[in-house]
Structure 1
Amino acid sequence: MENEHLIVHLHPKGAELRQLKGKKTGINYLWSGDPAWWGKTSPVLFPIVGTLRDNSYTYQGKTYSLPRHGFARDKRFMVEQSSPLAANFLLQDDSETREVYPFSFQFHVFYALIEDRLSVRYTVVNTGPDTLWFSVGAHPAFAVPPTGVADAGDYEDHYLQFDRSDALVRYKLSDGLISDETETITLDNHVLRLNAGLFSEDAIVLKGLPDQHIRLLGWKHMNGIEFSWQDFPFFGIWAPAGAPFVCLEPWCGIADSVHHDKELTRKEGIRSLGPGDYFAREWSVRCF
């Protein structure tokens, strides 16, 4: 996809965003996917977000297994639409998905270029006769510093600017599960300074974040992104310690708690859809 502002590369595997480059700035804003740190760039999370307790869940008396963040990120999507300004990908249930997730569904991932902004919409459709239980989320990784900026400084010369929050209540993880422990991270004038120590205990997991916009900026340059979302009740911020990127992750769903009884319908953040119903959420990123 391409317009006068941005060049976007997408891949049918996982309907994954692979490149987000400014035409005027020459900057690659997205992480490169170097497997030395993390081999993905912007995986789509479906039909769960995060880790299941014992990597399994129960539904109607049967036990099923799913990997962290579900299977969509590793499945090949059908390309339903492709043009310079928009692309639509589709994943449908099949015999393989029904072995681990006994539901009928259509999952659409729609990308659109709107001037200097990339918009991403997830739509889940219940195509079966029973209630569909699911979670969905985003996991884009942005390069820090952005690739192609001269004299951009180091990782610690960059920060996240929140539009509302003065402090973040972090729900700590224990082996990928939500523990009973929380930590309050105080922000300086809505600013979270990036440093490798932020993620020494895994992701920063947030609930009920009042913000709808986060800007990723640097002290030594004027380029960055504005990341926007609506109606995602959970949010994650993550990078492997020392990695040159940061993930901004709006979620409709969350990892199991350490106390969860593994019943899918009682999972925190799980969504339900009646037969024939659909669910849609959207996030976007503006590049400058």
Structure 2
Amino acid sequence: MTHTISNELFRLGIQQQGVEISSLKSLKTDTEYIWDAKPEIWGSHAPVLFPIIGALNNGATQIENALYAIPKHGLIRHNNNLELIAKTENSLEFQLLYSEETLALYPFKFAFTIKYQLEGSRLIVSHLVENRDEKTMPFALGGHPAFKCPFNAQEDYSDYYLEFTEAETASRWMLDDKGLLNGIRRPYLAATKELALHSDMFHEDALVFTDLKSRTVTLRSRKSQNSLKVSFADFPYLGLWAKPNANFICIEPWQGLTDPNDRLSVFSEKMGLIHLPASESYRAEYSIEITEAG
């Protein structure tokens, strides 16, 4: 099932399973901007990441002296139990409440709400995490949207580049073959605002950055005027990823990281988590803005 809304510029589709963005299509040019989730390449569109990002070392993490096997990227991805709690002409709002099923994987009482809202040429993705427990609740939060690249058949992947708002000098965190941090940080960006895309740039998995100054990154083509800007002021980290030789790129705002591979996973010690006090709430949003020529 797909939930659909639109405004004067774009039509948005949100699939029920995992409440992923499954389509963001221009009504002016008929251009689709979201990866079509070919299962033989990568069968997702835009996973929602909560309460972990990435994987757990040995598949489990220690919480309060017990081990919990939280699935990769958390409880929202592949979940059919999120409820549509509000719909307007240009917005959709979904919620997942804690249950016996979630408590068996993540022993905290929570309410997770995500809202998708079209405002002109922008899609705003807003998150609200409520701690309904009597103890502090640690969690990670993030987005994993995959954008079609190139935008049209007349262009190639190598025609595209990412533009940062600031000149960046940054190292990437390296990952092992299980998607875990291997303890190595490698210099990657050197006083540049541009990162050119090429087909094998992700042969060593994702580019993981924790020290970027920019809070906006724009996907641009050297052959056309269309562009796609992701703004993520509420998220301190950024992941970039695609399957090698695939026609998409994920621009991923993160609060949190995958596990390191050299120690037992202790959930409260994971890097970048929010530690939300009992009965309090946390909000964060990112946005996607599309500019089309003409």
TM-score tier, shorter chain, comes to: over 0.9
What is residue 286 of structure 2 aligned with on the other side?
283
SS at 1:145 equivalent: coil
Q: What one-letter code is carried by the residue in structure 2 that aligns with 1:33? A: A
SS at 2:108 equivalent: coil
Q: What one-letter code is carried by the residue in structure 1 that aligns with 2:102? A: T
CA–CA distance in structure 1, aligned partners of residues 263 and 76 of structure 2? 23
Cα deviation code 1:64-85 (max 9, x no counterpart): 1122111211112100011221
CA–CA distance in structure 1, aligned partners of residues 243 and 167 of structure 2? 24
RMSD: 1.3
Q: What one-letter code is carried by the residue in structure 2 that aligns with 1:280? A: R
CA–CA distance in structure 2, aligned partners of residues 243 and 187 of structure 1? 26
CA–CA distance in structure 1, aligned partners of residues 36 and 46 of structure 2? 10
- Give the TM-score, by structure 1 length: 0.95
The answer to whether the 8 Å contact 1:167/1:190 transfers is: no
The answer to whether the 8 Å contact 2:140/2:274 transfers is: yes
Q: Which moved more, 1:135-144 or 1:220-229?
A: 220-229
**In the alignment, is residue 31 of structure 1 matched against residue 35 of structure 2?**
yes
* Percent identical: 32
SS at 1:225 equivalent: strand
- Give the TM-score, by structure 2 length: 0.93
CA–CA distance in structure 2, aligned partners of residues 194 and 169 of structure 1? 17
The answer to whether the 8 Å contact 2:167/2:191 transfers is: no
SS at 2:166 equivalent: coil
User: Which residue, out of 77, 100, 125, partners 2:105?
Assistant: 100
Q: What one-letter code is carried by the residue in structure 2 that aligns with 1:244? A: N
**Within 5 A, what are the aligned runs for 1:1-288?**
1-76=5-80, 77-146=82-151, 149=152, 151=154, 153-174=155-176, 175-186=178-189, 189-288=192-291
Q: Which moved more, 1:171-180 or 1:160-169?
A: 160-169
CA–CA distance in structure 2, aligned partners of residues 203 and 122 of structure 1? 24
Cα deviation code 1:104-150 (max 9, x no counterpart): 0000011111111000011100011111111110000000011xx36
Tell me the CA shift for residue 36 of structure 1.
1.9
Q: What one-letter code is carried by the residue in structure 2 that aligns with 1:13? A: Q
Aligned length: 285
Structure 1 runs not aligned, ≥5 long: none
Q: What one-letter code is carried by the residue in structure 1 that aligns with 2:77? A: R
Tell me the CA shift for residue 189 of structure 1.
4.5
CA 1:186/1:264 → structure 2, altered by over 3 Å: closer, same or farther? Answer: closer
Q: What one-letter code is carried by the residue in structure 2 that aligns with 1:138? A: G
Q: What one-letter code is carried by the residue in structure 2 that aligns with 1:241? A: P
Tell me the CA shift for residue 3 of structure 1.
0.6
CA 1:187/1:154 → structure 2, altered by over 3 Å: closer, same or farther? Answer: farther
SS at 2:253 equivalent: strand
Structure 2 runs not aligned, ≥5 long: none
Cα deviation code 1:136-171 (max 9, x no counterpart): 10000000011xx362x2111111111113333111
Tell me the CA shift for residue 208 of structure 1.
2.5
CA–CA distance in structure 2, aligned partners of residues 229 and 60 of structure 1? 32
